A and B are shown apart, each in its own frame.
Chain A
Amino acid sequence: MGAGAGPGLRVGADEGPVTAADVTVRTVDLADTPLRELNAGLHAVNGDGPRRWRVLNPRGAHAVAAGIDAEIEVDVEGHVGYYCAGMNKRAVVRVHGNCGPGAAENIMSGTVAVDGNASQSAGATGRGGLLVIRGDAAARCGISMKGVDIVVRGSVGHMSAFMAQKGRLVVCGDAGDALGDSIYEAQLYVRGNVAGLGADCVEKELDEPHVAELRDLLERAGIDDCDPAEFRRYGSERRLYNFQVDDAGSY
């Protein structure tokens, strides 16, 4: 995946907070601007601040665009390291490259869209908003998720949605081993093969409301080449919700 702007990535462009009238684009080149200055600038955006930001030369930097709480759009032109857009609120952050571990960790709201692949723990503990990964996500995608929606166009690695509490994880490709281990109330949808289900995670019926929910999620993620009816649904059997000694071997 190249570091240039992906022409296909338009997530959030139509429903984002910024209208076409906001023409001012603030460009920050991380080759000559300290990261701290970029993030402080993003945190300081208020009513009359720039609504569109472009970040050049991230070169794998960690915590790029972390902690935003504003209705702005940020295009990151290249690969980033750990925790890109961590704890995001309201903003649309598009990464035109790959992400290191913990992309959009603990996202609260807004949208984070990754053109390439994401390393492990993408969307970890996210409590709201939408995370879209156009490529693959590695292990523990959606670990401990608490309300976020995650849509992965490719596949996810092992232990994805581990202890997932709330929210929805949509995987258009395959899922690795131990999907949804110790899951609570999160909903999982996988189109491809599931290598194995974790403790207390079972397949459930895919009914019409679920198909409608999926259609909406795929649409919001800008994915138009996957039929919602092709997915299978997984969730908690709720057998381990209250400890019983005869279940000790299941943990």
Chain B
Amino acid sequence: MTEFDSLGKARDQLERRASRRGWRPGLRESALFDRNVIHEIQRAAREGIYDIRGFGAKRAVPHFDDLLFLGASMSRYPLEGYRERCDTDVVLGDRHAAQPLHLDIPITIAGMSFGALSGPAKEALGRGASQVGTSTTTGDGGMTPEEREHSSVLVYQLLPSRYGMNPDDLRRADAIEIVVGQGAKPGGGGVLLGQKISDRVAEMRDLPKGIDQRSACRHPDWTGPDDLEIKIHELREITDWEKPIFVKIGATRPYFDVALAVKAGADVVVLDGMQGGTAATQEVFIEHVGIPTMAAVRPAVDALQDLDMHRRVQLVVSGGIRSGADVAKVLALGADAASIGVAAIVALGDNSPQHEEGYAEIATSAGYYDDWHEGRDPAGISTQDDDLAARFDPRLGGRRLANYLRTMVLEAQTIARACGKSHLHNLEPEDLVALSVEAAAMARVPLAGTSWIPGTEAVVNT
């Protein structure tokens, strides 16, 4: 065998391996027109309408992965992991409400509708949240008795559609959340396709069965912050000033929106970044409207601080929170709590390889499934089909969610103790550095190993 032969064999072997990974010499994929782009152009040409899907933004945007904590060392000392306390509780809504929420952990479950999710899935969210002492939230479809029964702390959303809205549920709720917008689609309404409008969903929403249900993008009886102030006042009067009132906004102009929400009288502001999930939205909306969660937090905190309202009006941040590290980072940037939606659904069992066969039947695969609007979820979570929903065990799902929330809290505590903090709320921007110039500019922390915070004159010694 010549040297040339053995080189040739080696080359063939390498190419065979690469081919298994989808690469062949001479077949060069365009960075601009990659296979997903080509597929989408072909789909649009065939169907003549935008793509609707669930989940949140799938493109890469600057996120908390680009931040790192500086653990304690010489100049500050850490706390002993299993001996010294690191508290996690949070009070939401003590500005005006007689009955603010006291949560054991600073991670809440975001609003998701009965309609988008099955009844058992909503029950599981309540079970999981209640096991760890946190809140869950209704959605664009009203409050179900199962949900109320299984949620020790339940936030009732007031949305533009007002499906199922009634004063009894307002009084049954522990807090009220006025939804102005959400991160996946700031400025957009909703849609629930006909196949998910079952008899029960139709009845709760006062709609005929089987039609495509559109949710308005603006509230029917108020426009703008001055009206919102009066709307909040009405809700307080109806509930005798007992319930905390949250205002939820999609992240676009967070400084102004947070300031206006505070001015309108909100007890709590919920800020949802563009990575926040949705049950059904145009893909173009999900991927191209709104700003990343990380970019929204500092301007929101600025607004609260400028009004002397930081920690008096609490800030809850959602949109791509996946781990205790994400929670710790968002708290360090000034939030009072984090909120999860997509991650909670995944914890229940969405996109689990256990259902691979079911995913294959609807031409997708575990880890990719996002057609939540179609109601054919093999995991039985985002569906109104009784047979599919019966596959999901709300007790087991609730247990999984509780496990996941506990894990996140332990992770956040691990980081906080390493930074010498006896409460998660004691984390601060000074505990962070950034891995990229973008993250440094957005989070306003120095690029790691430098004293440079882009966009500021500040020189920080680390």
Binding site for B on A (CB under 8 A): 35-36, 39-40, 43, 62-63, 66-67, 69, 81-83, 86-87, 89, 101-102, 105-106, 108, 121, 124-125, 127, 140, 143-144, 146-147, 162-163, 165-166, 182, 184-185, 241-243, 245, 248
A102 near B222: Cβ-Cβ < 8 Å:
yes
B230 near A83: Cβ-Cβ < 8 Å:
yes
Are A108 and B167 also in contact (CB < 8 A) when A67-B237, A144-B161 are? yes
Q: How far is the CB of B202 from chain A (nearest CB, A)?
A: 10
Partner among A82, A108, A184 whose Cβ is within 8 Å of the Cβ of B208: A184
B240 near A101: Cβ-Cβ < 8 Å:
no
- Summarize B's interface: helix, strand, loop or mixed: loop
Are A165 and B207 also in contact (CB < 8 A) when A36-B237, A87-B238 are? yes
B49 near A63: Cβ-Cβ < 8 Å:
no
Q: Which of B65-73, B211-219, B350-358 forms contacts with chain A?
A: B211-219
How many of chain B's residues have a CB under 8 angstroms from any CB in A?
33
B194: Cβ under 8 A from any A Cβ: yes
Task: Report, nearest first, the 9 A-B pairs whose CB atoms are least far apart.
Answer: A67-B238, A102-B221, A146-B206, A63-B234, A241-B211, A125-B162, A87-B167, A83-B234, A124-B221
Are A166 and B206 also in contact (CB < 8 A) when A63-B234, A87-B166, A146-B162 are? yes
Which chain B residues in 235-257 approach chain A with CB under 8 Å?
Answer: 237-241
Q: Which residues of A contact B234 (CB under 8 A)?
A: 62-63, 66, 82-83, 86, 102, 105
Binding site for A on B (CB under 8 A): 47-49, 161-162, 165-168, 170, 194, 205-208, 210-212, 214, 216, 220-222, 227, 230-231, 233-234, 237-241
Q: Which residues of A contact B207 (CB under 8 A)?
A: 165, 184-185
Q: Which residues of A contact B168 (CB under 8 A)?
A: 69
Q: Which residues of A contact B47 (CB under 8 A)?
A: 245
A127 near B230: Cβ-Cβ < 8 Å:
no
B166 near A106: Cβ-Cβ < 8 Å:
yes
Q: How far is the CB of A148 from chain B (nearest CB, A)?
A: 10
B221 near A143: Cβ-Cβ < 8 Å:
yes
Partner among A40, A82, A102, A248 whose Cβ is within 8 Å of the Cβ of B49: A248
Q: How far is the CB of A46 from chain B (nearest CB, A)?
A: 15
Partner among B216, B227, B238 whose Cβ is within 8 Å of the Cβ of A144: B216
Q: How far is the CB of B228 from chain A (nearest CB, A)?
A: 11
Q: Which residues of A contact B210 (CB under 8 A)?
A: 242
Beyond A105-B234, A125-B221, list 16 extra A-B contacts (CB 8 Å).
A39-B237, A63-B237, A67-B237, A67-B239, A82-B230, A83-B234, A87-B166, A124-B162, A124-B221, A125-B162, A125-B220, A127-B206, A163-B214, A165-B207, A242-B194, A242-B210
- In angstroms, Cα B211 to Cα A127, docked, is 20
- In angstroms, Cα B170 to Cα A87, docked, is 10
- In angstroms, Cα B216 to Cα A23, docked, is 46
- In angstroms, Cα B214 to Cα A241, docked, is 9
Q: Which residues of A contact B214 (CB under 8 A)?
A: 163, 182
Q: Which residues of B contact A146 (CB under 8 A)?
A: 162, 206
Q: List 5 A-B contacts (CB under 8 A).
A: A86-B238, A124-B221, A125-B220, A144-B220, A165-B207
B49 to chain A: closest residue by CB: A245
- In angstroms, Cα B231 to Cα A105, docked, is 11
A241 near B212: Cβ-Cβ < 8 Å:
yes
A66 near B238: Cβ-Cβ < 8 Å:
yes
Q: Which residues of B contact A81 (CB under 8 A)?
A: 230
Q: Which residues of B contact A182 (CB under 8 A)?
A: 214
- In angstroms, Cα B404 to Cα A16, docked, is 55
B161 near A83: Cβ-Cβ < 8 Å:
no
- In angstroms, Cα B206 to Cα A133, docked, is 24
- In angstroms, Cα B170 to Cα A125, docked, is 15
- In angstroms, Cα B69 to Cα A87, docked, is 49
- In angstroms, Cα B221 to Cα A18, docked, is 31
Are A40 and B240 also in contact (CB < 8 A) when A82-B230, A83-B230, A241-B212 are? yes
Q: How far is the CB of A200 from chain B (nearest CB, A)?
A: 11
Q: How far is the CB of A20 from chain B (nearest CB, A)?
A: 29
Q: Which residues of B contact A83 (CB under 8 A)?
A: 221, 230-231, 234
Q: How far is the CB of A84 from chain B (nearest CB, A)?
A: 10
A66 near B237: Cβ-Cβ < 8 Å:
yes
B237 near A35: Cβ-Cβ < 8 Å:
yes
B208 near A241: Cβ-Cβ < 8 Å:
yes
A105 to chain B: closest residue by CB: B221
- In angstroms, Cα B208 to Cα A124, docked, is 19
A101 near B167: Cβ-Cβ < 8 Å:
no
A121 near B221: Cβ-Cβ < 8 Å:
yes
Q: Which residues of A contact B230 (CB under 8 A)?
A: 62-63, 81-83
A166 to chain B: closest residue by CB: B206
Q: Which residues of A contact B240 (CB under 8 A)?
A: 36, 39-40, 43
Q: Which residues of A contact B161 (CB under 8 A)?
A: 144
Q: Which residues of B contact A166 (CB under 8 A)?
A: 206
- In angstroms, Cα B218 to Cα A140, docked, is 13
Q: Which residues of A contact B206 (CB under 8 A)?
A: 127, 146-147, 165-166
Q: How far is the CB of A88 from chain B (nearest CB, A)?
A: 9
